[in-house]
Amino acid sequence: MARAPAPSPNTFAGLTLERVAERRADRAWLGALEHDPASRYLVLDAEARLLADAAGRAPRLLTPAERARWLADTRPSLLGVDAHGHAFLMLRVADGQAEALEQALHAGRIGLRRAGMQFDAFDAGLYAYASGLAHWQARTRFCPACGGPLELEFAGHRARCARCQSLQFPRSDPAIIVIVEHDGACLLGRQASWPEGRYSTLAGFVEPGESLEDAVRREVAEETGVAVLASRYHSSQPWPFPASLMLGFTAQARSREIVLRDGELERAQWFTPGDIVRGIEQGRLLAPTRLSVSWQLIAHWMHERSGVDLGPLCDAHAAT
């Protein structure tokens, strides 16, 4: 598939970390990393909120000495090593432990959406990775084959049934998200629960036995009745809310006829670049959040078709 370059990296997709999966079973090496002074620990509470610095601009990473002082009995999961070979590990703690750390370290806790807007690319991607892994660990407690208890192993990336010995692994749910074009206009939709004026690109989960291209055609047809002729890959984004992988596409439509079919959308509409500019300027149209790949798809399309930079346009009219 031809790849259309995104104007900038998607949020949570800027993590440059070697995951060293081939060494997750090396207990001696893992033990050494846990005590290496250069290693650092991310701390997540029961709701996957991250221990952050007081300003909420970066994770408040624990050193091995700090971990030994406050969380010596908490089993870590390895996330990976950076370009310098320094390890990053994750600790899941109860709310009471998180509160005690906040007080002792003059720190705070932050959610993933806010962190995605405030952290740099590496830290945002690291938190997204840890959040997705933590979600899987917290909810994968019993064997789906026999109901036996599961025990984490492989540095936190695998669970083994204590009864039948079957293995479970972290999962990501693939979902397509697509900007559909026809004769200089793009197709956007809105759900009834969204803020007034909010429109976004179309999206949906990939079904078993379905290619990504087939998922694009099916989801667009189900939601809007629009027939897609062709699609091409744009970019991807980990979306751990709680465990999705967004796969962005651009597509061409056969016509502009819209028939809402499955009840997912309150409204769908074709927008030219001029429609989008005027809608934002007049306060009638809200772009999707900048966290999402939907923002990137619309921003890329606007730049390609009209040269308009969506970011400054939205910033200029945010308060109007």
- Which pLDDT value is given to residue 306? 95
Residues 188 and 294 in one domain: yes
68, part of any domain: yes
Residues 206 and 303 in one domain: yes
Measured between alpha carbons, how far is 167 from 144 in angstroms, rounded to an integer?
10
* Continuous segment of H or E residues that includes residue 187: strand 185-190
Q: Give the Cβ contact number of residue 178 at 10 Å.
A: 26
- The number of distinct structural domains making up the chain is 2
Structural domain boundaries, residue 90:
21-139
- Which pLDDT value is given to residue 155? 98
Measured between alpha carbons, how far is 118 from 127 in angstroms, rounded to an integer?
12
Measured between alpha carbons, how far is 215 from 218 in angstroms, rounded to an integer?
5
The per-residue pLDDT string of the chain (320 residues; one tens digit each, 9 = 90 and over) reads: 344 444 567 999 999 999 999 999 999 999 999 999 999 999 999 999 999 999 999 999 999 999 999 999 999 999 999 999 999 999 999 999 999 999 999 999 999 999 999 999 999 999 999 999 999 999 999 999 999 999 999 999 999 999 999 999 999 999 999 999 999 999 999 999 999 999 999 999 999 999 999 999 999 999 999 999 999 999 999 999 999 999 999 999 999 999 999 999 999 999 999 999 999 999 999 999 999 999 999 999 999 999 999 999 999 988 55
Residues 76 and 130 in one domain: yes
Q: Which of 228, 238, 235 is nearest to 249 (CA)?
A: 235
**Residue 243: both structure tokens together:** 């465990």
Is 0.85 surpassed by the pTM of this model?
yes
Q: Give the Cβ contact number of residue 225 at 10 Å.
A: 15
Angle between helix 293-306 and 273-281 (nearest 10): 110
- Which pLDDT value is given to residue 9? 78
Give the CATH number, domain containing residue 303: 3.90.79.10
In this structure, the strands spanning 167-168 and 150-153 are unpaired
Is the four-CA dihedral 14, 138, 141, 40 of positive or negative sign?
A: positive
